[in-house]
């Protein structure tokens, strides 16, 4: 996969959303160029790499998500974690764009949610259920060497990360990406919160402590 450069962080705060939009367009275009076979191969490798994080391998509860479209695939990882006895909770999008959570009970128990999302059909646990997770796996489009994550811009995970910070909860935050999406610099805004690691098919990258 090509390594699109999201660009430098602009000095003018008003320019940052523009820079983010340009970065998202470039990264989404690169994902669109991936063949179905390449995406399937990446998903299998991503599941294996995620388990190389000791915190994931030892976790009692992991907050994850169901990949859609051309996102790095998470379905294999979800099933592996569940088969190992890990309690996996998945997001449920609410009307205000905040996230509720429910336990993953298998692919057959996923229902179609808003915006084409696949969501667990079980009991809603409430937005604060994420505080029980020792690992939170995040979607994203890119991350830089400072752990700054570029998301899609909906703001749902900004609320999740703020909720964790407000509760003084410190799970491992890991973004799941394709190779080539760990970049030199991501446009950042003041409210953006860094992640601890990125998992790609090619390896695990830790921020603040080097790459694994």
Q: Which helix (H) or strand (E) holds 68?
A: none
- pLDDT higher for 115 or 157? 157
CA distance 6 to 183: 8
Condensed to tens digits (0 to 9), the pLDDT of residues 58-93 reads 999 999 999 999 999 999 999 999 999 999 999 999
Query: With helix as H, strand as E and coil as C, how does 82-98 read?
Result: HHCCCEEEEEEECCCCC
92 within some domain: yes
Strand order in the sheet with 135-138: 99-103, 87-93, 61-63, 135-138, 172-176, 197-200, 203-206
Looking up residue 137, the CATH number of its domain turns out to be: 3.40.50.10420
Inform me whether the pLDDT recorded for 179 exceeds 70.
yes
Tokens representing 142 are 């890119």
Count of structural domains, the chain: 1
In this prediction, residue 14 has a pLDDT band, given cuts at 50, 70 and 90, of: low
Containing domain of residue 156, as a range? 13-206
Condensed to tens digits (0 to 9), the pLDDT of residues 118-170 reads 999 999 999 999 999 999 999 999 999 999 999 887 889 999 999 999 999 99
Answer whether 41's CB lies under 8 Å from 53's CB: no
Answer whether 48's CB lies under 8 Å from 201's CB: no
CA distance 52 to 70: 23
Q: How many other C-beta atoms can be found within 10 angstroms of the C-beta atom of residue 179?
A: 15
The pTM (predicted TM-score) of the whole model is 0.88
174 within some domain: yes
Q: Coil, strand or helix: which one is 6?
A: coil
CA distance 106 to 56: 19
- pLDDT higher for 5 or 63? 63
151 within some domain: yes
Specify the pLDDT at position 67: 95
In this prediction, residue 188 has a pLDDT band, given cuts at 50, 70 and 90, of: confident
130 within some domain: yes
Q: What residues contact 110, with CB distance under 8 A and at least 6 apart?
A: 66, 118, 119, 120, 121
Specify the pLDDT at position 105: 96
């Amino acid at each position: 996969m090509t390594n699109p450069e999201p660009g430098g962080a602009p000095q003018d705060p008003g320019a940052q959303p523009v820079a983010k939009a340009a970065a998202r367009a470039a990264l989404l275009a690169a994902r669109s160029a991936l063949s179905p076979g390449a995406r399937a191969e990446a998903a299998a490798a991503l599941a294996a790499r995620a388990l190389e994080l000791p915190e994931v391998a030892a976790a009692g509860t992991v907050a994850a998500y169901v990949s859609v479209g051309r996102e790095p695939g998470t379905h294999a990882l979800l099933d592996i974690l569940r088969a190992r006895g890990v309690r996996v909770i998945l997001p449920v999008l609410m009307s205000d764009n905040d996230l509720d959570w429910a336990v993953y009970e298998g692919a057959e128990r996923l229902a179609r949610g808003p915006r084409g999302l696949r969501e667990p059909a079980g009991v809603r646990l409430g937005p604060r259920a994420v505080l029980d997770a020792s690992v939170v796996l995040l979607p994203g489009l890119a991350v830089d060497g400072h752990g700054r994550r570029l998301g899609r811009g909906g703001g749902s995970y900004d609320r999740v990360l703020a909720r964790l910070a407000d509760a003084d909860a410190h799970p491992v935050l890991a973004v799941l990406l394709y190779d080539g999406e760990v970049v030199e610099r991501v446009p950042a805004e003041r409210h953006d919160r860094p992640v601890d690691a990125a998992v790609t098919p090619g390896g695990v990258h830790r921020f603040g402590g080097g790459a694994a």
